[in-house]
Chain A
Amino acid sequence: MSKDSIVIAGYSETPVAFKSGRSAYDFAGEAFAGLLAATGLEKALVDGLSVTVPLSECANPFFAVYMTEALGLSPSWLNYGGIGGCSATGGVARAAAAIRDGQAEVAVVLSADAPSTNWAANYGAWRGEFQDPVGIMGPPAAFGLLMSRYEHQYGLNYEALAKIAITQREGALLNENAYVKLQKPLSVDDYMNSRMIADPLRLLDCVMFCDGGNAFLVTTEGKAKALGLAKMVRPTAYAEVTNFKGDEATADITETGFSQLAPKVFGKSGLTPGDIGSFHPYDDFTIAVMMQLEDFGFCPKGRGSDYVMATDLSHRGELPVNTGGGQLSAGQPGLASGGLNLAEAVRQMFGEAGARQVANRETALVTGIGVIPYARNWGASAAMILEA
Chain B
Amino acid sequence: MSEQKTQRPVPKANRFVETEAFWQGIEERELRLQYCPDTEQFQHYPRPVSIYTGKRNLEWRKVAGTGTVYACTIVRVPGPGLDGRLPLSVVTVELDEGVRILGNVLNADPVTVAIGQRVELAWDTIGEDTAYPAFNIVGT
Contacts and interface: CB of A to CB of B under 8 A. Distances in A.
A265 to B, nearest CB: 27
A132 interface: yes
Contacts of B70: 149, 253
Given A124-B15, A129-B12, A152-B115, A141 B92 contact: no
Given A141-B90, A148-B72, A133 B132 contact: yes
B52 A144 contact: no
Interface in B86-112: 88, 90-92, 94, 98-104, 110-111
Given A129-B11, A134-B90, A249 B73 contact: no
Interface stretch (A100-108, A194-202, A332-340): A194-202
A196 B76 contact: yes
Given A131-B102, A132-B11, A149-B115, A250 B94 contact: yes
Nearest to B74: A199
Contacts of B11: 128-130, 132-133
A375 B43 CA distance: 12
Given A133-B11, A133-B132, A249-B43, A148 B75 contact: no
A193 to B, nearest CB: 15
B51 interface: yes
A201 B99 contact: no
B22 to A, nearest CB: 8
Contacts of A148: 71-73, 115
Interface in A146-182: 146-149, 152
B46 to A, nearest CB: 7
Contact of A246 (B42, B46, B51, B92): B51
A136 interface: yes
A322 B22 CA distance: 45
B13 interface: yes
Most buried by A among B73, B81, B101: B73
A198 B81 contact: no
A132 B81 contact: yes
Contacts of B16: 124-126, 128-129
Interface string A246-269: 110110010000000000000000
Given A149-B71, A197-B77, A249-B43, A128 B15 contact: yes
B102 A134 contact: yes
A134 B79 contact: no
A250 B96 CA distance: 11
Given A137-B82, A149-B70, A152-B115, A144 B75 contact: yes
A146 B43 contact: no
Interface residues of A, number: 37
Contacts of A72: none
Contacts of A200: 73
A351 interface: no
Nearest to B23: A129
Interface residues of B, number: 49
Contact of A138 (B71, B79, B90, B99): B79
Nearest to A197: B77
Most buried by B among A124, A125, A129, A146: A129
B102 A374 contact: yes
Contact of A199 (B8, B73, B79, B98): B73
Contact of B73 (A130, A132, A133, A144): A144
Given A129-B13, A375-B100, A375-B101, A249 B42 contact: yes
A287 interface: no
Interface in B35-93: 41-46, 51-52, 70-77, 79-82, 85, 88, 90-92
A135 B82 contact: yes
B126 interface: yes
Most buried by B among A133, A145, A198: A133
B9 interface: yes
Contacts of A140: 77
B136 interface: no
Given A141-B73, A141-B90, A133 B8 contact: yes
A144 B8 contact: no
Contacts of B111: 199
Given A197-B77, A199-B76, A199-B111, 4 more contacts: A133-B132, A136-B102, A195-B77, A199-B74
5 contacts: A128-B11, A149-B92, A149-B115, A197-B77, A253-B92
